[in-house]
Amino acid sequence: MSSQNDFDWWLKSIRGEKPPIHESEPQCGYFKVRDRRGLNKDLAPIKRPFVAAAIWKDGDEFKAEVAGSPVHIDHAWPYLAKYPITYEDYQFWHLNERWPEKAA
């Protein structure tokens, strides 16, 4: 299970700070990313809808999911780092498969 310190980078990001993004150093947190699945894979990247994603630690190993499906951490980070979101928005998306108005 992740400790609170594992989420320090993400907490700084959602507060508006700009912590550095290092390709080889993933960070735990909640994010949104453009959907590359199904019908969306043929859309121009800018037209793809955002989906929720998360990175966390399980022991010493990083785990990641995009839209509820597991993904390899190397395929998730640093792309997810661009769009950190609150945990509440992450939960809302998973319950409704859409964003609350303020996060759209």
Say what the pLDDT of residue 67 is: 93
As a whole number, mean pLDDT of residues 56-77 equals 93
Neighbours of 69 (CB within 10 A): 10
The domains of the chain are located at 4-103
Say what the pLDDT of residue 103 is: 47
Question: Percent of the chain having pLDDT more than 70?
Answer: 89
pLDDT in tens, 36-54: 766 667 777 777 889 999 9
d(CA 78, CA 15): 19
> Residue 51: enclosing H or E segment and its boundaries?
strand 50-58
Global model pTM greater than 0.75: yes
